[in-house]
Structure 1
């Protein structure tokens, strides 16, 4: 009863410190540490003793109050400046949490008091949120606070009997109860549309926690995790957009199609992602296209179930049309590489239906093959891969485009031969091999119309430089 009274008084003192003055707050922390050291925890937690039933709940309330005190302030420091006072406070709170976890571990190891599990159930959520808030490098952390937070997380997993964070959140098997529900219950008040940006650490806690929960555990929490992911992805800051899209991608990859199609969730996801394609940020475009490529099978399955199989790939057509529209005038290399990186996946998904986009694809392929893309030549290599797939899937419609594509490939070969830049020989070899493969495919689908005499005077003859043996072999083949 004395301990219960002391903890209640401590909670009242913490609630009365609105500005959290340094000396008064540290005095309270010192008193709590003294209580933790002096209490006989095995007797207090033993169900046969006279310990009050509210003690584990009081400990949980105290842990939540201290975790909030150690959280970064609601207003972010200008220019991402450091917050040394927050890191110092977090290190002190973490040291107290380590003491409390150490006492619980001692009670657990004694095997004489099963009631430690009740106390851990109230403490696990606040301890976990504290650890995830401070374990990584952020403006509000320091090496010391990061080390203490990492110790708190490791000790929490050990006391909980879990080998990983995923097991801690989900449980050992599908039938076991993890602590993801409890953690999301603590995060829920801070993850609505108005409050998710108040605590700058909240988006990182939610995102990192979400990434640890996979199929089949994630499905039952869909109503809790989908709205915050959409809020974060809909922010005006690109960093938050990318973070939110990563959360949405994790949901798409780990929730069954039937659950995503229920209540039209998949269409909501598609519209939210599609709108991001108008943003000229290569990191965002990269995340969005990867997520959309995983979402297309879900949307197509919904169309098949509704009996509209003819329109099953309309979403993919719509995205590819917009991507090609943006690719044509794009001059920024990072965006060009990002678009080119995902173009083969769209051609593979559409197959023969790529013929709907052949006219625009032809312009994009010719334009991207002409532009040097730096030493790695990522855009050109991906465009050559796209051209191979286009020829393979739409070969009956290629013969009428033979001259345009052949000129572009021959010009590329001449550019490779003339290239005196820092492009590695391995990259030049890869370009030559891909281009030669495209020429072979063109020759096959045009019934042998690829002849060197038709273009020797116009292209190869104008390439006045010494070719390597492999390049000369390619020219001779043509």
Structure 2
């Protein structure tokens, strides 16, 4: 291992790397990948699942950094520190300003956005959908942020290829029944972004009173919201409803009676801090 590190350090002054060094580096990298876990379907992953691997990571990480850049169950303070040092050294060697540029080149500022993302949609979408379907709420929120980025940077037409937009909607619809406050805001923001491309006409002037998936979402959300006693969850719904109601346009009329009933209930029993949350909904 020490010999390998010395060989890697010579990259600072010599760009030629022998075949033996390349082979040894590849072996270290392969052995240092975050291991595949056989659990995960019956329970979430835990830090204890990786306790036998972290010492190996700390030893070998000077030649591998991607999976240890951010805090996770399989990282430690040592591995994250080494990751930063390694990335900084690689950026210096390759004359890059960031790790993103190091990985995808100078076009990194647009590489994963319009019009490039559509070329990779079939590759990135399945991973995002799997992440959204995780046990852990934090992981689900991360998956939602990935889907939000995908939705934002593909066109309406591309979302309709092979029914991919409908697949995303089904994945998000299942989460609407979850009752975690930290999930509600990003989830409803993502749903509104998606339906903005899947529902309605092609211009902002198109509008009608037909039942749509906006109504399906409102039906679930209002059912969850009514009689809710958990204050953080109430605040999450109150903060998210104005955007959803505004996106529903004239269709919101069919829900006005139920909305007023919920708002009255919340205002009657809620503390002063929740009065501010109700005002934007009344303004819609």
| Structure-1 separation of matches of 2:15 and 2:141 | 50
Deviation at 1:289, TM superposition (A): 0.5
1:166 has 2:100 as partner? yes
| Structure-2 separation of matches of 1:164 and 1:280 | 38
Report the equivalent of 2:280: 385
Report the equivalent of 1:21: none
Q: Which runs of 5+ in 1 are unaligned?
A: 1-28, 46-50, 98-129, 179-212, 390-478
Report the equivalent of 1:414: none
Report the equivalent of 2:115: 216
| Structure-2 separation of matches of 1:273 and 1:287 | 11
The match for 1:148 among 82, 101, 110 is 82
| Structure-2 separation of matches of 1:85 and 1:233 | 28
User: Structure 1 residues 157 and 34 mapped into 2: Cα distance closer, same or farther (>3 Å)?
Assistant: closer
1:331 has 2:229 as partner? yes
1:77-112 Cα shifts (integer Å, max 9, x gaps): 9853496664443333233x3xxxxxxxxxxxxxxx
Deviation at 1:139, TM superposition (A): 3.7
| Structure-2 separation of matches of 1:250 and 1:324 | 27
Deviation at 1:254, TM superposition (A): 2.1
Report the equivalent of 2:130: 231
1:340-387 Cα shifts (integer Å, max 9, x gaps): 1111112222333321111101111101111224x7x1x331212211
Deviation at 1:274, TM superposition (A): 1.0
- SS of match in other structure, 2:248: helix
Report the equivalent of 1:24: none
Q: Cα RMSD between the aligned structures?
A: 3.4
Report the equivalent of 1:372: 270
The answer as to whether partners of 1:219 and 1:255 remain within 8 angstroms in 2 is yes
| Structure-2 separation of matches of 1:313 and 1:154 | 54
The answer as to whether partners of 1:135 and 1:150 remain within 8 angstroms in 2 is yes
Aligned length: 277
The answer as to whether partners of 1:313 and 1:350 remain within 8 angstroms in 2 is no
Report the equivalent of 1:356: 254
User: Structure 1 residues 66 and 361 mapped into 2: Cα distance closer, same or farther (>3 Å)?
Assistant: same
Report the equivalent of 2:162: 263
- SS of match in other structure, 2:75: coil
| Structure-2 separation of matches of 1:225 and 1:304 | 26
Report the equivalent of 2:61: 94
1:285 has 2:180 as partner? no
| Structure-2 separation of matches of 1:310 and 1:42 | 67
User: Structure 1 residues 79 and 148 mapped into 2: Cα distance closer, same or farther (>3 Å)?
Assistant: closer
Deviation at 1:298, TM superposition (A): 0.6
Report the equivalent of 1:63: 25
Deviation at 1:35, TM superposition (A): 5.3
Report the equivalent of 1:295: 194
1:45-90 Cα shifts (integer Å, max 9, x gaps): 5xxxxx7xxx3xx655543431232234445898534966644433
Deviation at 1:30, TM superposition (A): 3.4
The answer as to whether partners of 2:47 and 2:73 remain within 8 angstroms in 1 is yes
| Structure-2 separation of matches of 1:94 and 1:350 | 50
Deviation at 1:238, TM superposition (A): 3.0
Report the equivalent of 2:216: 318
Deviation at 1:169, TM superposition (A): 3.7
The match for 2:4 among 28, 32, 37 is 32
1:150-201 Cα shifts (integer Å, max 9, x gaps): 011122223333212333344323899x7xxxxxxxxxxxxxxxxxxxxxxx
The answer as to whether partners of 2:238 and 2:277 remain within 8 angstroms in 1 is yes
| Structure-2 separation of matches of 1:296 and 1:355 | 18
| Structure-2 separation of matches of 1:173 and 1:148 | 27
Report the equivalent of 1:342: 240
Report the equivalent of 1:138: 72
- SS of match in other structure, 1:278: coil
User: Structure 1 residues 166 and 259 mapped into 2: Cα distance closer, same or farther (>3 Å)?
Assistant: farther
The answer as to whether partners of 2:131 and 2:143 remain within 8 angstroms in 1 is yes
- After TM superposition, the score normalised by the length of structure 1 is 0.51
User: Structure 1 residues 38 and 257 mapped into 2: Cα distance closer, same or farther (>3 Å)?
Assistant: closer
The answer as to whether partners of 1:87 and 1:141 remain within 8 angstroms in 2 is yes
My pick for the range that moved more, 277-286 or 140-149, is 140-149
My pick for the range that moved more, 213-222 or 257-266, is 213-222
Report the equivalent of 1:254: 153
| Structure-2 separation of matches of 1:174 and 1:145 | 26
